[in-house]
Structure 1
Amino acid sequence: MGSHRRLAPSGFDRGATVLCVLSATAAALGAAGAAPASAAPNGEGPAEVDRLYEEAENATEAYNKADEQAGKLREQVREAQDHIARQQQHINTMREELGSLAGAQYRAGGIDPAVALLFSTDPGDYLDKAAALDRIGIRQADRLLELQSVMRELAQERAATAGKLAELEKNRKAVATHKRTVERKLAKARELLNSLPYAQRAAYERASRDGAADLPDLRGVSAPNGRAAAAIAAARSALGRPYVWGANGPAGFDCSGLMQWSYAQAGVQLPRTSQAQRYAGQQVPFSQIRPGDLVVYRSDAGHVAMYAGNGQVIHAPHPGAPVRYDPVGMMPVSSVTRV
C-alpha cells in the first residue's frame, strides 16, 4: 500500500509509499502524542514513515504467502491422515480374512497329503477337500501379496506425511516471524509519526481520510465484460471498510485480500499475494488499461489495486485508511494484469 499524501494525478513518479500493514495493531498503538523537541526535520519524518510502511507491507505479503502455504499443507496432511486411516482399516480387514483362510485350511486337513489319504475312510471325499484346500491356498497367497503391497504403500504414505508435518511446522514458524516483523515495523512507524510536529502529523493523517466521502466522477465508465463488472461492483461495495492485516473480507481487507475477495464474487479464484496476483492473468501495457484490471505497484509487486476507470483505482491502502479510491499514479506502477 502506498503513501497517499501529495498524490500525483497520474504516471509512475510517485516514489514514497504508505503500505498495506496491520490495521488492528495500528489502532492499538495509540493516538498521536505531543512532538518532542528532537522531532525529525520537516519532510524527513514522513518519508521515514513511508519507508517503514513499505517494509511492513513486504512482511505482510510474506506472511500471506506463508499462511496460504500452511493452509494448503494442513489440507494435504488432513487428506493424507484420512487415507492412512482407511489403508490401516483395509490392512486390518485383510489380516482378519487371512486368519479365516488359515483356519479353513486347518479344518480342511492342513497335514501331509499322503498321510491324510492313507487315513481317509472316503478317498473321494478327501480329494474334494484337497481341491478346495488348494483353492484356499492360492487365494491366501494372493491376499498375502496384496497385504504386503498395501503395507509398503502405508509406510511410504506415513513417511511422506511426516515430511509434510515438518514442512507445516516450518511454515507456522515463518508465519509467526513475518507477523512479528510487521508488528515491529508498524509500531516504529506509529512512534515516529507521533513524534512529528502537530501540523506535519495532522497533514500526514489527513491524507488517510475516508476517500469514500469524495467519490471520483466515473460517469460513462463501463467494464469490458461481466466478470470485470462483477469484480468492480464487489470492490465498490467494500468502500469504507477497514484495513485489516492478513484479511480477505468481507469485514476487512489488506491490499491483495481485497482483490482476491472482489474477484471471488465474480467466480474467479485469485492467489493470495500481490506477487502471485501479478501473474494471475494476461499482462497488458499501461496504455491499454481497462476497468477491472489489477494494477501492481513497485518492482517488488508489494501493493495491488483494481482499476476503476477515469484514472482511479480502488484499494485497501494502510492502517487507518479504509478501502477507497485513489489516482492510479499514486506510486510507481510495475505492471497491469487482466484477469
Structure 2
Amino acid sequence: MGRNRTSRRWSRAALVATAAVAVLLAPATASADPGSADEAQRLVAEASKQLATLDEQVHEAELTVAAQQQAAVDAATRASQAEAVLAGYGPQLVAIAQSAGTSQSRMAAFLTSESAADVVQQMTTLDLIAAHTEGLLAEVSVAQRTAEQARADADAAAAQATASLAELERQRAEVQTRVETYEADFARLSAAEQAAVTTSVAGPSLAAPETASVVAAAPSEAVATVLETALAQVGDPYVWAGSGPDGFDCSGLTSFAYAAAGVALPHSSRAQAQMGTAVSRSELQPGDLVFFGSPVYHVGIYVGNGKMVHARTFSQPVAVTSVDMAGYAGARRIL
C-alpha cells in the first residue's frame, strides 16, 4: 500500500510540475505567406513580440524549476536527518530485545523476595523499567513515521523537479525552433523593412551617450557601476536566454549589469518588475529598471535624458533607445 500511495504521489507531482512550468506556445505567424511587403513586415513584427513573451515565460519556468530542485535537495536533507534520528534508537532497541520480559521479571521478583517490602520495591523498579520501555517504543514509532513521511516527501519533490526539468527542456527546444524561423523570416526582409520592424518592436536606435558623463551623473557609486557595465555591452548581439558576457537577452543584460555592482537579479523581467521600489516616469533616475508589456515581457536600464540601454530584440544588438517606446509599463528603483 505504501508503494502504491507513493506512486500516486509521484504521478500527481509530475502533473503539478508540468502545469507549473507550462508555456503556451502561440501559433507562429511570421512564416505565413505574406501578400505584400507591408504584410511581411507586420507578420515579422508580431512574431518578434510573441518570441519576447515566450522568452519571458521560459525564464519564469526556469525560476520555478530551480526552486523545485532546491526544494528536492532540502527535502532529501530532512529525510536523511529523520532517518538518522531513527537509527539512533537502534542500540536501545537491541538492549530491550535482549532483556527478559517484564512478566517473567515480575514472577522472579515474587519468588526470590524475602519480604513483602522487598517485593514492592522490586515491583516498583520493574514498573519504572516497563514505563521507560513503553515510552521508548512510542518515541521510536513516531520517529519511524516521521522518517517514512520525510522520505516520501523527498521522493515526491525529486519527481516533481525531474518532470519540470523535462518539460522545460521541451519548451526551450521549441522556442529555439521559433527563434530560427523568425530570424530566417527577418533576413528575407529588405534593410528598410528590417529597420521598420525593429523600430516598431524595440524603439529607434539612438547614439549612445558618453559613458563618462552618464557615470558622473549617477546617484551613487553602485549605480555608476551598473550604468558603466551596461553601456559597455552596446553592440553585443541579442542571444535568446543570454546572460553574457558576449550576448544577452533583455533580463540577461540587466542582471549582468547589476551583478557588477554586487546585486543579484533573477533572469526574468517579470520577476525583476516585483523588486525594488516603484517610480513614476517623471521621477526616473539613471540606473532605474524600466519595463514594457502587460504582462511584463521586456526590461531595460534608464541612462538619463529619456534614454535607456537594453538588449532590444532578436537579430538586433544591445543599443540605446528612447525609453518612451510602445508598451511602457513602469519602472523600479533597485539601488
- TM-score in terms of structure 1 length: 0.73
Distance 2:259 2:41 in 1: 36
The 8 Å contact of residues 227 and 266 in structure 1, kept in 2 or not, is answered as yes
Alignment of 1:249-328 (within 5 A): 249-328=244-323
Contact 2:255 2:265 in 1 (8 A): yes
8 Å contact kept, 1:63–1:174:
no
Distance 1:170 1:316 in 2: 31
C-alpha distance in 2, partners of 1:69/1:168? 9
- Give the conservation status (yes or no) of the 8 Å contact 1:52–1:186: no
Aligned partners of 2:74 and 2:167: how far apart in 1? 23
Residue 114 (structure 1) aligned with residue 110 (structure 2): no
After superposition, residues 140-289 of structure 1 pair within 5 angstroms as: 140-196=133-189, 198-200=190-192, 214-217=207-210, 219=213, 222-289=217-284
Higher relative contact order (CA 8 A, sep 6+): 1
Q: Matched residue of 1:299: which SS?
A: coil
Supply the distance in 2 between the matched residues of 1:57 and 1:223 (Cα, whole angstroms): 29
1:96 equivalent to 2:100? Answer no
Distance 2:194 2:263 in 1: 40
Q: Percent identity?
A: 26
Q: Does residue 1:52 correspond to 2:75, yes or no?
A: no
Displacement of 1:100: 1.9
Q: Deviations over 1:136-182 (max 9, x none)?
A: 43333232222222222223323433443343244324423432442
Paired with 1:240 and 1:224, the residues of 2 have a C-alpha distance of 26
- Measure, in 1, the Cα distance between the counterparts of 2:276 and 2:246: 26
Cα deviation digits, residues 13-50 of structure 1 (max 9, x gap): xxxxxxxxxxxxxxxxxxxxxxxxx8752333222212
Matched to 1:118, the amino acid is: L
Q: 1:280 offset after TM fit, Å?
A: 0.9
- How far apart, in 2, do the equivalents of 1:253 and 1:152 lie? 49
Letter paired with 2:68: L
In structure 2, C-alpha distance between the alignment counterparts of 1:82 and 1:141, rounded to whole Å:
30
Residues 329 and 99 (structure 1), Cα distance of their counterparts in 2 relative to 1, 3 Å cut: same
> Given that residues 60 and 178 in structure 1 are in contact (C-alpha distance below 8 angstroms), is that contact kept between their aligned partners in structure 2?
no
SS of alignment partner, residue 104 of structure 2: coil
Structure 1 CA distance for aligned equivalents of residues 232 and 120 of structure 2: 84
> What is the TM-score when the length of structure 2 is the normalising length?
0.74
Q: How much has 1:253 moved relative to structure 2?
A: 2.4
RMSD of aligned Cα (Å): 3.6
Residue 76 (1) aligns with residue 71 (2) = yes
- Seen in structure 2, the aligned counterparts of structure 1 residues 110 and 248 have a Cα distance that, compared at 3 Å, is farther
Q: Which runs of 5+ in 1 are unaligned?
A: 1-37
- Tell me, which stretches of 5 or more residues in structure 2 are unaligned? 1-32
Cα contact 1:255–1:303 (8 A) shared by 2: yes
